[in-house]
């Protein structure tokens, strides 16, 4: 009998499932090194385009299937794949390889795909690296078609039971192809939470764990598996006790989900009458419907990096305007707070020609780039001023460390307003400008920043990273990265006090607000405006309606005097236990520094 063991990956779609493993080795096909006669070159070019047309039709069918299963917004993921498939520059490059080197269509396509893959995989942009999975899916389809092999792989559950599917790389096409009653989970060696396949898995409600290198060599088809898509764990050959625990945990999860559904549309008001405004964090257009459907009272953090990352040129003013208007109209009259481009660090777009930096997260990034490159910032400011006519659009500045940065932004805003007037374009007379407090410097001078700002919003992710000198993406330091450190608690208290004294709106838009214990702490510290990830909105609404804000205030006061993160956590847990059993909540909603606990 095989010994039970647990592997730890990245949880990208919540839920717990048990079933036999089925290993699918869907690798890139071997392409013969073949050349064609000179008089057959044009026929080979035609063959390439015929394959593209055939694969496009297949993707259109998958798009329709996605629309029927998960809705029109998620189905737009396949629009992006179709655009990638028909990319003119890519196809021209493959054609040149055929004409100049007399390569077969499949060999030319493979060479061009390898070139693009290497460019994307080595990019400093995490968003661009995530598109490698989309490219792989297209490459497999095109090459199989050209080689006369099946484009789509047949799948049947192991022994008639729904299975946990193991793959090297999960693509959007595969995610939608699998029948939901045949699959209880996906596990892949590669992939990230924001990949298109991960987004589809969440929309379908299928547990998914990614980022487990070498897992295909660790498991055989038929092996019994427990997958926990929130915790990111995969247990192979579990004991009867572990299976029983997983079934109980999944039962509790479904009970909680029913309770969360019951409060949808209800106000987030505590038992002692304290109202908490719950807005949403918006990363990608695909999340817009989900955010609105979860009852978000506006957008507290609208990221704009997807507009620039993964493309060779910068987005036009009109392109930005269209997106800003779309979101503003969807949530009007509630506010939509747009964060200016937070490029840099691990997400520089190809349009920026920059030299490598020894420490990019402390280098030329975020607002620094925008202020140094007005030609990048001014079109965004113009688009925001024009979009404000359609809703309560506001601007938030990331990585602020000095008052002068806010003052300079306002000067550029005046320039943008004047240029719009000269061009005869309708635009708002004003645009509220706020600071994202995410550096120790900004927290320390919050009172001064308040003098030149219209609002403050705390970004707890980077504030924790920079305060504790811990890279939040470093797995070796995961236990040291905790937003419950006393230094963070005291900073949160000080920033909130500075905003209150200046009579400015104050909110939190970091991950801390998306966790039950974190939301409890923030409410206790006096925060009444939280911006939350879409998946956590129902949970935090449910939580607010079950607690007394006065109890949270007593807990926060005691936490401010604590000496360690463990003591802060203990204090909060003791006080929240009067209303909520944290152990009954889904593991994916536990505090960040406790998510790596393994099953068994």
Q: Of all helices (H) and strands (E), which one includes residue 320?
A: helix 317-331
∠374-378-380 over CA atoms, to 5°? 125
Q: Which of the following is catalytic: 145, 493, 509, 575? A: 509
Tell me how far apart the alpha carbons of residues 559 and 132 are, in angstroms, rounded to a whole number. Answer: 44
Give CA torsion, residues 60, 26, 135, 42, to 10 deg: -80
Closest to 21 measured CA to CA, from 167, 119, 172, 140? 167
How far is it, in rounded angstroms, from Cα 137 to Cα 336?
Answer: 35
Q: Round to whole Å and give the CA distance between 57 and 210.
A: 29
Q: Is 196 a catalytic residue?
A: yes
SS3 258: helix
For the question of residue 370 being annotated catalytic, the response is no
3-state helix/strand/coil string of 266-280? CCCECCCCCECEEEE
* Phi, psi dihedral angles at 268 (to 5 degrees): -85, 85
| Buried/exposed 140-155: b ≥16 CB within 10 Å, e otherwise | bbbbbbbeeeeeeeee
Q: How far apart are CA 133 and CA 81, in angstroms?
A: 11
State how far the Cα of 439 lies from the Cα of 424, in Å rounded to an integer: 39
Other beta carbons within 10 Å of 87: 12
Catalytic residue among 196, 485, 493, 575: 196
Alpha-carbon distance 550 to 270, whole Å? 9
Q: Are 85 and 138 in contact (CB under 8 A)?
A: yes
C-beta of residue 190 within 8 angstroms of C-beta of residue 169: yes
Strands 455-458 and 506-508: parallel
- Give the DSSP letter of residue 344: B
Ordered strands of the 16-24 beta sheet: 5-8, 233-236, 224-228, 16-24, 163-167, 183-188, 208-210, 10-13
Q: Which residues are catalytic?
A: 196, 509
């Amino acid at each position: 009998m095989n010994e039970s063991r647990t592997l730890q990956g990245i949880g990208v779609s919540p839920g717990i499932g048990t079933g036999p493993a089925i290993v699918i080795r869907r690798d890139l096909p071997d392409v013969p090194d073949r050349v064609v006669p000179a008089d057959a070159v044009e026929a080979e070019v035609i063959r390439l385009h015929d394959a593209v047309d055939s694969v496009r039709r297949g993707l259109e069918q998958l798009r329709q299937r996605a629309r029927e299963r998960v809705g029109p917004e998620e189905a737009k993921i396949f629009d992006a794949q179709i655009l990638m498939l028909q990319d003119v520059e890519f196809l021209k490059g493959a054609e040149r390889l055929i004409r100049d080197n007399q390569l077969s269509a499949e060999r030319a396509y493979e060479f061009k795909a390898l070139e693009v893959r290497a460019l994307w995989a080595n990019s400093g942009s995490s968003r661009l690296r995530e598109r490698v999975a989309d490219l792989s899916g297209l490459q497999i389809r095109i090459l199989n078609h050209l080689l006369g092999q099946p484009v789509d792989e047949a799948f049947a559950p192991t022994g008639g039971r729904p299975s946990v599917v193991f793959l090297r790389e999960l693509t959007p096409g595969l995610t939608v192809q699998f029948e939901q009653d045949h699959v209880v989970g996906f596990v892949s060696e590669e992939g990230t939470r924001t990949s298109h396949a991960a987004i589809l898995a969440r929309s379908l409600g299928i547990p998914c764990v990614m980022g487990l290198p070498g897992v295909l060599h660790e498991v055989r088809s038929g092996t019994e598996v427990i997958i926990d898509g929130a915790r990111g764990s995969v247990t192979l050959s579990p004991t009867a006790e572990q299976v029983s625990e997983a079934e109980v945990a999944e039962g509790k999860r479904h009970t909680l989900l029913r309770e969360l559904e019951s409060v949808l549309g209800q106000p987030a008001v505590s038992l002692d009458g304290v109202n908490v405004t719950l807005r949403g964090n918006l990363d990608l257009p695909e999340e817009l419907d989900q955010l609105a459907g979860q009852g978000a009272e506006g957008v507290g953090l609208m990221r704009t990096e997807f507009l620039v990352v993964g493309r060779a040129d910068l987005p036009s003013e009109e392109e930005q305007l269209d997106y800003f208007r779309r979101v503003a109209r969807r949530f009007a009259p509630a506010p939509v707070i747009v964060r200016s481009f937070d490029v840099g660090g691990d997400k520089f777009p190809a349009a920026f020609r920059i030299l490598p930096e020894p420490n990019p997260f402390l280098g030329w990034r975020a607002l620094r780039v925008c202020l140094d490159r007005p030609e990048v910032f001014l079109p965004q400011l113009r688009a925001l001023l024009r979009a404000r006519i359609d809703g309560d659009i506001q601007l938030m500045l990331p990585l602020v460390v000095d008052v002068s940065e806010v003052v300079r932004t306002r000067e550029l805003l005046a320039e943008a307003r004047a240029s719009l007037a000269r061009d005869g374009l309708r635009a708002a007379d004003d645009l509220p400008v706020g600071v994202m407090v995410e550096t120790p410097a900004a927290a320390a001078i919050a009172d001064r920043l308040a003098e030149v700002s219209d609002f403050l919003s705390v970004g707890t992710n980077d504030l924790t990273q920079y305060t504790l000198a811990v890279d939040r993406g470093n797995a070796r330091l995961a236990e040291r990265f905790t937003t419950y450190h006393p230094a963070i608690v005291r900073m949160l208290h000080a920033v909130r006090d500075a905003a209150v004294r200046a009579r400015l709106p104050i909110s939190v838009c970091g991950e801390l607000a998306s966790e039950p214990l974190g939301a409890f702490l923030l409410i206790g510290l006096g925060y009444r405006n939280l911006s939350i990830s879409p998946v956590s909105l129902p949970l935090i609404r449910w939580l607010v309606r079950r607690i007394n804000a006065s109890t949270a205030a007593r807990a926060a006061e005691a936490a401010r005097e604590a000496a360690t993160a463990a003591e802060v956590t203990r204090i909060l847990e003791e006080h929240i236990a009067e209303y909520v059993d944290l152990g009954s909540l889904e593991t994916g909603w536990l505090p960040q520094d406790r998510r790596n606990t393994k099953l068994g």
